[in-house]
Amino acid sequence: MGSREVLGQAARLASSGLLLQVLFRLITFVLNAFILRFLSKEIVGIVNVRLTLLYSTTIFLAREAFRRACLSGGAQRDWSQTFNLLWLTVPLGMFWALLLGWVWLQLLEVPDPQAVPHYGSGVVAFCLSAVVELLGEPFWVLAQAQMFVKLKVIAESLSVILKSVLTAFLVLWVPHWGLYIFSLAQLLYTAVLVLCYVIYFTKLLGSSESTKQQTLPVSRMTDLLPNITRNRAFVNWKEAKLTWSFFKQSLLKQILTEGERYVMTFLNVLNFGDQGVYDIVNNLGSLVARLIFQPIEESFYIFFAKVLERGKDATLQKQEDMVVVAAVLESLLKLALLTGLTITTFGFAYSQLALDIYGGVMLSSGSGPVLLRSYCLYVLLLAINGVTECFTFAAMSKEEVDRYNFTMLALSSSFLALSYLLTQWCGSVGFILANCFNMGIRITQSLCFIHRYYRKSPYRPLVGLRLSLALLGAFALSGGITAISEAWLCCDQGWPARLAHVAVGALCLGMTVGTVLLTETKLIHFVRTQLGVSRLADKTS
């Protein structure tokens, strides 16, 4: 498969992933607004911080390294060995679930049973849901490798919708069930997710007339199960060693990704109610970031991993592929920078209004607006880091991944210490400031790698981080005008003034977008081209 074909499939996956994330976040957005009116802040804090951290940590440590390693391989591979390796995520997940479940029950502070009932059952249910989800890992990796976009969209959409409906129904009718509500909803989510993949491949492999079935590396469902033979190794040891390298890195990356939740959970710097408020503001602040950046990062990591040969710089790769890769990286960097700057510029002036509409005085007063404004700056760094790291991790050799682990170790240690110190100094805002500091260092590391990678080649994709003076001026002017508008019109002047403030922002946003269309013609061409490729792929699939 050529680089342009892979690019087309990655663009299709990213656009479908974008729609999927929109659906997820809108449902979660409405659900949080709904449950805030029926449940206490303490229950929200326990579920969204502590139990979600337990689930995400178990899942991340058990499967992240396997996913990265198994998706990095080329077309010529022994898939039975890859499936054998992926099935190891289940016992590994059981180990982490037992260990972390014990920590959550025995070593951490147990919430008041009157305020948060059924905490122990919640811990058990979230651990069990993590193990259940790992049962579908071989199916997920095969679907990703074959670019089965619709399968992922349908499976995850259906799972999230059913989980949300069940949660809303139970919150409305039996709010006294406490954590039973979220435990049942979480188990339903993982069970439906795995069943969707199993049912899809069962039907696909059972139909001999299917064109997709002919392109699969398996011919029956039993081929996806663990397979032990005497004439070959149980797993591909090259993939296994790469998995171990990614595993060491994943542990450190998880600390960086969920660092503030670890500090809140283990050091008790915020009470459960404050944790709930922080998590709501954090989710609201990351809404646009995860809608756009996460599907792009996941999809184009697959593109880079399929096209590039690990451990070889730009001069040793296929030059026809490097033309495409350099152009894609440059455009992705530009897109991430512009999106992040837009969120930062307009987020400062509209944070308080957004919180007031979403959660009322509970969120729009106190530290809420400052938290959200700080997060807008973090989104800018998050956008750039997502693109630079998805290229870096796809291009690094195993040895470079191992060396990078030492850097991640230093970052993890400094992040935890900095989070604790800054939280003691300036409250929950300290978490975001610590994230900004570490994200800046990670970006610097990735940019240095990309510079070295292209140093001897004629390609300079890092020019994607440069903006014209006209565009910088448009952002600066928009930021100044919307700041003045907020001071005069928002947020204690009533709805007519608020609507006028929104209108001012819309005009400034239109001016900024117009400047982008006039000055960034190369980026606009890239976006239109990839959207066209994505639509064509949908028609032919």
Q: Tens digit of pLDDT for each residue in 82-121?
A: 889 999 999 999 999 999 999 999 999 888 888 888 999 9
Question: Residue 335: its pLDDT value, please?
Answer: 92
Task: Please report, for the chain, the start and end positions of each structural domain, with discontinuous segments joined by +.
Answer: 39-256, 258-466, 471-531
Q: Quick one: average pLDDT of 204-216?
A: 68
CA distance 275 to 278: 5
Residue 15 pLDDT grade (very low, low, confident, very high; cuts 50, 70, 90):
low
pLDDT at 319 over 50: yes
pLDDT: which is higher, 43 or 127: 127
Among 217-221, 245-249, 480-484, where is mean pLDDT lowest? 245-249
Residue 465 pLDDT grade (very low, low, confident, very high; cuts 50, 70, 90):
very high
pLDDT tens digits along 142-193: 988 887 877 887 898 889 889 988 998 998 888 888 899 999 999 999 999 9
CA-based Rg of the chain, rounded to a whole angstrom? 24
pLDDT tens digits along 262-282: 888 888 778 787 787 788 788
Residue 17 pLDDT grade (very low, low, confident, very high; cuts 50, 70, 90):
low
Percent of the chain with pLDDT over 70: 88
Mean pLDDT score across all residues of the chain = 84
Among 4-13, 67-76, 133-142, 333-342, where is mean pLDDT lowest? 4-13
CA distance 180 to 165: 15
CA distance 489 to 498: 6
Question: Residue 541: its pLDDT value, please?
Answer: 47
pLDDT at 526 over 90: no
Q: Quick one: average pLDDT of 467-484?
A: 95
Are 240 and 4 in contact by the 8 Å Cβ rule? The answer is: no
Cα atoms in the Cβ-side hemisphere of radius 13 Å centred on 419? 27
